[in-house]
Amino acid sequence: MSEQDIFSNLTQEEREIIVNKGTEAPFSGEYNDHFDAGIFICRACKSPLYESNTKFNSGCGWPSFDDEIEGSISRHEDLSGGRVRTEICCKKCGGHLGHVFHGEQITEKNTRHCVNSLSIQFKKYDNLSIAYFGAGCFWSVEKIFRDTKGVYMCQSGYMGGDTKNPNYREVCTGKTNHAEVVEIYFDDKDVSYDSLLQIFWDNHNPTSLNRQGLDLGTQYRSVIYYTSIFQKDSANSSLIVAQKNWDRLIVTQIEKSTVFYRAEEYHQNYLNKNNLGTCSL
């Protein structure tokens, strides 16, 4: 396919970015706050560029990734605007994506691909299932599940409360009624939901009401948010089995999942980013 064919179906706005190396306004792109599981491809030639598990919220106003699919990106010196920057382009078609920056210490990889939404398209992974668990501070819970084989992506956040778009400070007051939870995208061919439930039971105290260790408050409650009747039945069955391991009554709540609100970026992958290892739940 010729370059003319590759770019022929672009809108005027897309062409301005991809061909003419323009930049969309910050916080205006459809993918700036997009954190579903899937793959981002070049809008022009449809070549895979980024896995969604490398995307993070840098606060810059453009989609940010800390890694690329191997061999998908080319780099070029950019001296425009009186600055020295590194431009990134789709290696297959040469379409402009944005710029890459290093040394900002936002993620473990210390890299930020700053990409225009108009340069990319998202393709959802249909083979993945979603699970939600709350088992105390989400820092430790996220690390445990993130390190589990078959888990594609794990994010910390809030669920089950009464307010929209809560932040950490609000949740910590206990007034929003949100729980600290992790959102898990997993491939059930590699890890079953029952296996995730077992990890959940094995890594916290489900008999401690609104408390795990020194963390006290309703946001630290033990809770399973199910996304289907299958998950609901599995959770209830697993609770009966787990109860045999405890003298005290399990207080874990089993409720239908509601809106998941992704937590602030500094909470994501917190223990790994800060070299803290696994802390006790």
Kindly write down the DSSP assignment for every residue of 154-207, as one continuous string.
EEEEEES-SSSS--HHHHHTTSS--EEEEEEEE-TTTS-HHHHHHHHHHTS-TT
Stated length of the chain: 281
Amino acid code (one letter) for 5? D
Strand 151-159 versus strand 261-262 pairing type: antiparallel
Question: At a CB cut-off of 8 Å and minimum separation 6, what does 216 contact?
Answer: 210
Question: Tens-of-pLDDT digits for all 281 residues of the chain?
Answer: 455 678 999 999 999 999 999 999 999 999 999 999 999 999 999 999 999 999 999 999 999 999 999 999 999 999 988 889 999 999 999 999 999 999 999 999 999 999 999 999 999 999 999 999 999 999 999 999 999 999 999 999 999 999 999 999 999 999 999 999 999 999 999 999 999 999 999 999 999 999 998 899 999 999 999 999 999 999 999 999 999 999 999 999 999 999 999 999 999 999 998 888 655 44
* pLDDT at position 281: 44
Task: Confirm whether pTM is higher than 0.85.
Answer: yes
CA-wise closest residue to 196 among 118, 244, 159, 141:
141
Query: Are the beta carbons of 263 and 156 closer than 8 angstroms?
Result: yes
The reply to whether 114 belongs to the active site is: yes
The span from the CA of 133 to the CA of 144, in Å, is 12
Q: State the catalytic residue, choosing from 114, 154, 172, 279.
A: 114
H-helix or E-strand spanning residue 225: strand 222-226
CA-wise closest residue to 153 among 59, 274, 34:
34
Assigned superfamily of 129-273: Peptide methionine sulphoxide reductase MsrA (3.30.1060.10)
The span from the CA of 153 to the CA of 118, in Å, is 24
* pLDDT at position 238: 98
The reply to whether 137 belongs to the active site is: yes
CATH top-level class of 3-124:
mainly beta
Query: Are the beta carbons of 218 and 174 closer than 8 angstroms?
Result: yes
* pLDDT at position 280: 47
Query: Are the beta carbons of 182 and 157 closer than 8 angstroms?
Result: yes
- Cα atoms found within 13 Å of the Cα of residue 204, Cβ hemisphere only: 33
Residue where the block lists tokens 């959940």: 200
* pLDDT at position 176: 97
Q: State the catalytic residue, choosing from 89, 90, 137, 154.
A: 137
Q: Tell me the domain boundaries of the chain.
A: 3-124, 129-273
* pLDDT at position 275: 83
The span from the CA of 40 to the CA of 96, in Å, is 14
